A and B are shown apart, each in its own frame.
Chain A
Amino acid sequence: MKISISNFKLFLGILLFTINCSADTENHILISQLKKLSLEELVKIETFNFKANLPARKIQKLTETPTALFVITQDDIRRAGITSLPEALRMVPGMQVARINSSKWAITTRGLNGLFTSKLLVMIDGRSVYTILRSEVNWDTQDLLLEDIERIEVIRGPGASLWGSNAVNGMINIITKSSKDTQKNLITTTIGKGEENVIIGLRHGGKINDTSHYRVYGKFYEHDNFVNAQGINQQDNWQMKRAGFRIDQDIARDNNLTVQGDVYKGFTKQNLLSFQTGEFFSDIVDINGFNILGRWQTNNMILQTYYDQTNRQETLLGDKRGTFDIDFQHSWKPNANQGLIWGLGYRYVHDDIDDSFAITYIPKKRQDNLFSVFAEGELKLQNFKLTLGSKIEHNDYSGLEIQPTARILWNKQQHSFWGAVSRAIRSPTRTDKDVQYFLSGNAMSNILHNVNYENSAIPENQANTMIIQGNIDYKAETVLAYELGYRFNITNKFLLDATIFYNDYDELQIFQPVQIISPSTIILKGMNKMYGETYGLEVTASWQANNNWKLISTYNYLNIELHLDPDVILVPPLDDFFSEIQEDYSPHHQANIRSLLSLSNNLELDTTLYYVGSIFNEYVSSYNRFDIRLGWNPKQWQFSFGVRNVFDKQQPEFNNSISDNYILANEARRAFYIQMKYLF
């Protein structure tokens, strides 16, 4: 059989015609519907702004996104009565937010939670705040004037093909408003009991000339004490002072320059385990740091660079860390159905660790380089969109890493289905490689006691001295993630978003005894000797019942199964200390429902009910948390009064997993607050 060229051309012509048609027809229907509306109806139409940059490194609509995306808006934060960044994440479907004490949170999505969560990448305006010391996010230092936030984009699942390692289970980018949109001056004051004590924020916005705007802000934050299980006040109150600025210049249309920076200083308190005596003692952590970022953005190019310095001094460990990062991306769109985005990145990290007898790092100073390159192509064919991409990076801890993704999206009017397969890694940290912990027998027996380790055959005060070592050969932890999603969206009036996932992990970290020096001293070493699967479901439904009432509800199910490699030998009482026990650091079920009700006279009544299932290995039983807020917004003023955790006087959320048990966990309290804002 022979296919003539003219036939082929005809076929191609028809194909192109149908492709062009489908998008055009959809718009046509939409616009003809809009034209039928009266003027009164038209001014009430809510335009679509559910868009995000995180899934594709370019602004994209929700229905075009083959990713489990959730966006928290400025309005969501305000109406949930939230006054800190980590607490805002509670409203995200599938996000586990658990407080360890008043300044420490265990936050992740899709499981494997802990103080050193390790698999959640967090950025503020594109600046990574994930610390490679112990693979944690220090949530106590991540703050800004919450009124300056435009939106928080949250992705569940890997995002490593664009953003690099550690975006394994999820990714967060907090995006602040352009200074053009914060030209008003603001005074905000919050007074509370139980959570925040006092928050004072000031912002001044202004114009340098017709094309340049700026803002400066200052903020003081003081947090109350939490309590222990008996309801007695624990000394873990903390304080943070910060100031910052942002300048935006419009060089031309789609050609902007941004310079921004922050400086902060404060302290937190914690009850820390003495690795010698095994007793807990009160420790004050001094924190300070600064960052400065510049970004030049045109319609097809972004060049961004920043320097970030943090300094945390605890009794047992001090860490001073500087990060220089430069990132370039370029997009190329030959026609409406094809697109390519690519980029290059370089990061330099230098640190200076002030260690102790209990925690030793060799070497004490280190300089590390990270080189990366990525490319992602997009192809549209009728209602299908195919995305293929990968990041290739080289880091000084695990060498060359390739993190590809393949995604497909099918979208027709209100429905879209998507599927994805991705690989991501959690790169080894400074601690994974270079640390040595020295725990006395007393400390060990107290740890055993604290975690109610009942199977322990070893009587108290006779536990072994333990030396825990990093491993210079430690490899990256990997995941192969499979995701399927469905979205149903009508006019922003009703949105249904559901995702199922299956994560296949390998090379997970455990600590295995390698040497028994004497009957009373054991050496443990970090090794990549665990694998596992997690799977789950995440659903969000949002319904704009009428102009004044909106309901948003989420639910998620999660199951984790971990397995040790067959050659792992464990010694009692360490049988499952650092291993499969992590299966039960996350609840199987979580849900929440938010109701946002606008009443007459500028009044708002907002309520949220959170349900968190039991966390077996954390000895936390399931709980409900109910928050209520009453707001009144007369002209330039905004008043809020609210109560968090209405039902319970106090609530444990996380008792510390055994592997990061050296901080005493406290319980969150019922909190009251009054907030006043004045815009002028």
Chain B
Amino acid sequence: MFFKKINLVLIVFIIMYNQSYAEVQEYQVKAVFLYNFANFIKWPKNTFSNPDTPFSICILGDDPFQQEIDITIRNEKIEQRPVVIQRLNNLIKINICQILFISQSETNYLKDILNTLQKYPILTVSDIDTFVIAGGMIQFFVQNRRVGFYIAPDVLKTINLEISANLLRVAKIFRQ
């Protein structure tokens, strides 16, 4: 009788917490955001050179996501295109990227990187804490262990990226 009750309590518990996320790491949330941004932003029509070109999420510098980002995009499609992750050490192949995550390891070269990127239709994302001030588009921050982000809509507009209102609603807006 007693054990039955315990079982019942356990079952209720398991049902209550079925939608649970064990131990969520900061970079797992950031990886999911990075992928999500693609669904809430529209790239200009001439972005992709041909119909088979995959959608590329690039990581510049030391990769803080490790396999989390690969797991996130596995079997996913963005704008009917397969998604690939490109890990870059320099900006030579930058034109293939649609989203570029700039790692904290690049803090010292941030100005040069953003200067080079100015004309490409690339969404720039980073968690460097001066990123939007330096002219970046989306900057992650962590407050009370929750991941949020600043977005600089004016910068996105200069290269004709369209932002969904839903994304703006949860973001903190940054204007120079």
Contacts and interface: CB of A to CB of B under 8 A. Distances in A.
B35 interface: yes
A24 interface: yes
A31 B20 contact: no
A492 B166 CA distance: 27
B104 interface: yes
Contact of A253 (B19, B104, B167): B104
Contacts of B142: 47
A253 B109 CA distance: 14
A489 B147 contact: no
Nearest to A39: B170
Interface in A483-498: 489-494
Given A39-B166, A210-B108, A492 B71 contact: no
Contacts of B28: 27, 30-31, 34, 47
A39 B26 contact: no
Interface in A204-235: 210
Looking at chain A's contact residues, is the secondary structure mostly helix, strand, loop, or mixed? mixed
A47 B32 contact: no
Interface string A34-50: 11010110111111111
A437 B175 CA distance: 73
B39 to A, nearest CB: 10
A34 B32 contact: yes
B18 to A, nearest CB: 10
Contacts of B22: 26, 30, 413-414, 489-491
Interface string A606-639: 0000000000000000000000000000000000
Contact of B145 (A37, A42, A47, A62): A47
A27 B68 contact: yes
Contacts of A494: 17
A50 B23 CA distance: 9
A40 B74 CA distance: 23
Contacts of B23: 48, 50, 61-63, 489, 491-492
Interface of B: 17, 19-26, 28-29, 31-33, 35-36, 40, 62, 67-68, 71-72, 74, 104-105, 107-108, 142, 144-148, 166-167, 169-170
30 contacts: A30-B24, A31-B72, A34-B28, A35-B32, A39-B169, A40-B169, A42-B29, A42-B32, A42-B33, A42-B36, A45-B29, A45-B146, A45-B147, A46-B24, A46-B145, A47-B25, A47-B28, A47-B29, A47-B142, A47-B145, A47-B146, A48-B26, A48-B145, A210-B107, A210-B108, A414-B22, A490-B20, A490-B22, A493-B20, A494-B17
Given A27-B68, A28-B74, A48-B24, 18 more contacts: A24-B71, A26-B22, A31-B31, A31-B71, A34-B21, A34-B28, A34-B29, A35-B32, A35-B35, A35-B36, A35-B72, A46-B144, A47-B26, A414-B22, A489-B22, A491-B17, A492-B24, A493-B17
